[in-house]
């Protein structure tokens, strides 16, 4: 019955992996394949005149599977009339019609769009009295048993390794019950609740046994953020601190991963350990960098025995250690340039950028108004000072990341200026006392957006570009007035298309973040990639190179880097100052992620760390480095 996953790398047959996993380039394609498996099961049961019992998850991971199922219902006539569903969990306490409830989520993404019978939908009820919970949970279990158990259980995985809300410490034999939520889990949910303090501390969840009893289990994981827990779950020992690892005992389980979520698996991270295979140039560099770390040596000091003793003897078949060392050293060393726009009038054969034209038109895309300076402030500064025509395009307004208190501060400053300003201040002050209303009030959102625009202009003026070269695109997908964004559409593509066609850049810089597959950075990248596909045949695009930088969260790995731009100590300070102009994004910002360091500290730490890594590998000793990967379209 299980789908024949034809993706690269089906079951890995080494000693490392203990759970069947399949890896796809993109979560979208993976979700489509999972939806096909579910649809096949539903149809098979229909033919047999049987009910099909699905266990369903919420969270960001299954959304694209639900989208595809809805599409199949609408376009291909897939009927859900024989389907019974049981959801894994619900926050407690929680009103069913609350927008943060999993009831709301399931209707929004699936149930309202298909022909499932309402009486066949089961979601734990966050409204019941606390004194009735045990009885209620027993009934939930019995209901599952009564319909013959779950045929197909869809799961996501939390960064704590939870499945359902079975947090670390959950018992192998646990069943549906009330649980306490882990700090990491609550922190991950804070966006939807406008702050961790509003996230419920409890939930009702199916237990590990309930999940284990399902006939088929498919777990979805997307994005770099899941890579660590996926490695532990698939390759580590069964451990009650990682509930998902209990699935190692299940006879019919598949983990469906995108590239980023699989990136820490041994077969991906260090494939030379898994078996003999030809290593590509990039993989060879990866292996050598890994070997340097392992032996604590620089590249040019690695010996034949270092390779032999660390599973890399394969590399020595066609080259000597000396030749490999030199090849990889040169590959990395040649990425370093103080001329990100290309060094004029020199032989550029081994340089990351072309010398010609000496003055380039450069278009820097920044998903939020501040990613430009946070992620590539040093390079931005060099491009400007080296005389290129630099444009910045802020893709979204970033309005939801401004605190209410900041909006009020600006309004209050102006309230003394005119009667109207005073009136506006007192009206909005009242609204802002109810903190969540910021997103629903258009005036407040506009002011928040304006604040971010003006902060950006202060920073770009400081770096030295004209206001007319700064473009605020306000992509519509972002302007929903809530944390949840809509799917990008034609109008988003058109805006990006227009600005590229207007500027006709020789270089495009864009955020290449894949850490959060449903986050704004990834959506902005997806839109750009789609546009590039559409316009790549235009003559000016033949002369356009695209460079991807990494945002505040992650860094390119050394072997992935195509251009490294070093910064002097003074340039580091200048970059810091440029970031400081984004005042509302300093000190307790709204969407900081789980790293408590401020953005400027994170980026400085990262830029210094990569410089130290280069130095450890035997390159020059720079103060800090910004890195880029070329995107070929």
Question: Distance between CA 34 and CA 38 in Å, rounded?
Answer: 6
Residue 278 or 484: which CB sits closer to ligand F6R? 484
Residue 165: CB minimum distance to ligand F6R, A:
6
Closer residue to ligand F6R in complex, CB, 61/176: 61
Closest by alpha carbon to 223, among 191, 188, 272, 190?
Answer: 188
CA–CA separation, 19 vs 12, rounded Å?
Answer: 9
**Which residue, 56 or 578, is less far from ligand F6R as judged by CB?**
56
Which among 12, 90, 141, 167 is annotated as catalytic? 167
Residue 479 contacts residue 519 (beta carbons within 8 Å): no
Q: Are 154 and 64 in contact (CB under 8 A)?
A: no
**Could you give the CA distance from residue 1 to residue 72 in angstroms, rounded to a whole number?**
19
* Sheet arrangement for strand 253-258: 21-24, 253-258, 217-221, 152-155, 52-56, 83-87, 121-122
DSSP run (H or E) holding 218: strand 217-221
Known catalytic residue: 167? yes
Specify the residue, 158 or 377, whose C-beta has the smaller distance to ligand F6R. 158
Q: Which is nearer to ligand F6R, 192 or 431 (CB)?
A: 192
Across 350-497, the runs of DSSP E, i.e. the strands, are: 361-366, 389-394, 470-472
Measured between alpha carbons, how far is residue 426 from residues 403, 407, 415, 451, 475 in Å?
17, 12, 9, 19, 30
Residue nearest to ligand F6R (CB): 156
Cβ at position 146, least distance to ligand F6R in Å: 22
User: Considering only CA atoms, which of 216, 152, 131, 204 is closest in space to residue 174?
Assistant: 204
Closest to ligand F6R by CB, 101 or 603: 101
In the complex, least distance from residue 448 CB atom to ligand F6R, rounded to whole angstroms: 26
Residues that bind ligand F6R (CB under 6 A): 57-61, 88-89, 156-158, 162-165
Min CB(226)–ligand F6R separation in Å: 7
The pairs formed by 582-589 with CB atoms below 8 angstroms and a separation of 24 or more are 582/369, 582/370, 582/373, 582/452, 582/455, 582/456, 582/459, 583/406, 583/455, 584/401, 584/402, 584/403, 584/406, 584/451, 584/452, 584/455, 585/370, 585/401, 585/455, 588/403, 589/401, 589/403
Q: Give least dist CB 55 to ligand F6R, A.
A: 10
The least CB distance from residue 259 to ligand F6R, in Å, is 16
Q: How far is the CB of 416 from ligand F6R (least distance, A)?
A: 46
Q: Measured from the CB atom, is 123 or 544 closer to ligand F6R?
A: 123
**Cα Dmax for the chain:** 82
Q: Which residues are catalytic?
A: 167
């Amino acid at each position: 019955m299980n789908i024949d996953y034809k993706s690269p790398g089906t079951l890995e047959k080494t000693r490392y992996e203990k759970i069947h996993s399949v890896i796809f380039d993109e979560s979208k394609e993976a979700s489509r394949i999972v939806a096909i498996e579910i649809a096949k099961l539903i149809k098979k049961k229909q033919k047999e005149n049987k009910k099909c019992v699905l266990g369903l998850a919420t969270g960001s991971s299954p959304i694209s599977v639900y989208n595809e199922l809805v599409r199949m219902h609408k376009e291909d006539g897939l009927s859900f009339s024989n389907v019974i569903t049981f959801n894994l969990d619900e926050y407690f306490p929680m009103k069913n019609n609350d927008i943060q409830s999993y009831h709301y989520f399931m209707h929004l993404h699936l149930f309202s769009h298909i022909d499932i019978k309402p009486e066949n939908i089961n979601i734990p009820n966050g409204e019941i009295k606390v004194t009735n919970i045990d009885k209620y949970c027993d009934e939930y279990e019995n209901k599952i048993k009564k319909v013959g158990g779950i045929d197909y259980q869809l799961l996501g995985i939390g960064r704590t390794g939870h499945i359902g809300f079975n947090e670390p410490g959950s018992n192998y034999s646990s069943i549906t019950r009330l649980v306490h939520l882990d700090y990491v889990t609550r922190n991950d949910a804070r966006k939807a609740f406008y702050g961790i303090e509003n996230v419920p501390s409890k939930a009702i969840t199916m237990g590990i046994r309930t999940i284990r009893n399902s006939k088929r289990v498919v777990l979805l994981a997307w994005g770099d953020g899941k890579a660590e827990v996926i490695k532990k779950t698939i390759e580590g020992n069964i451990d009650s601190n990682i509930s998902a690892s209990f699935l190692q005992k299940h006879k019919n389980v598949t983990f469906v991963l995108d590239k980023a979520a699989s990136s820490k698996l041994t077969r991906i991270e260090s494939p030379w350990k898994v078996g003999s295979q030809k290593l590509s140039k990039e993989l060879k560099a990866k292996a050598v960098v890994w070997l340097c770390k392992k032996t604590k040596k620089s590249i040019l000091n690695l010996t034949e025995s270092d390779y032999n003793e660390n599973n890399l003897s394969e590399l020595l078949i066609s080259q000597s250690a000396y030749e490999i060392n030199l090849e990889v050293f040169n590959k990395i060393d040649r990425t370093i340039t103080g001329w990100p726009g290309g060094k004029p009038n020199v032989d550029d054969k081994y340089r990351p950028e072309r010398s010609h034209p000496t003055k380039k038109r450069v278009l820097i895309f920044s998903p939020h108004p501040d990613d430009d300076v946070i992620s590539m402030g040093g390079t931005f500064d060099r491009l400007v000072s080296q005389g290129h025509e630099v444009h910045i395009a802020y893709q979204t307004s970033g309005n939801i990341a401004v605190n209410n208190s900041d909006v009020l501060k600006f309004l209050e400053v102006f309230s003394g200026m005119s009667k109207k300003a005073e009136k506006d201040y007192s009206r909005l002050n009242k609204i802002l006392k109810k903190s969540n209303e910021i997103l629903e009030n258009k005036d407040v959102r506009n002011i928040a957006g304006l604040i971010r625009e003006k902060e950006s202009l202060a920073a770009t003026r400081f770096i030295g570009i004209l206001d007319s070269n700064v473009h605020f695109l306000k992509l519509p997908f972002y302007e929903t007035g809530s944390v949840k964004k809509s799917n990008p559409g034609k109008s988003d593509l058109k805006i990006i298309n227009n600005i590229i066609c207007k500027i006709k850049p020789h270089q495009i810089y864009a955020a290449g973040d894949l850490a959060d597959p449903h986050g704004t950075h990834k959506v902005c990248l997806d839109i750009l990639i789609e546009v590039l596909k559409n316009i790549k045949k235009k003559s000016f695009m033949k002369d356009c190179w695209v460079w991807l930088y990494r945002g505040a969260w992650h860094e390119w790995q050394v072997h992935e880097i195509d251009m490294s731009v070093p910064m002097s100590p003074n340039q580091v300070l200048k970059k810091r100052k440029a970031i400081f102009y984004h005042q509302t994004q300093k000190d307790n910002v709204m969407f900081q992620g789980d790293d408590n360091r401020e953005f400027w500290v994170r980026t400085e730490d990262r830029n210094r760390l990569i410089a130290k890594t280069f130095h450890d590998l035997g390159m020059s000793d720079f103060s800090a480095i910004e890195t880029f990967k070329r995107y070929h379209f």
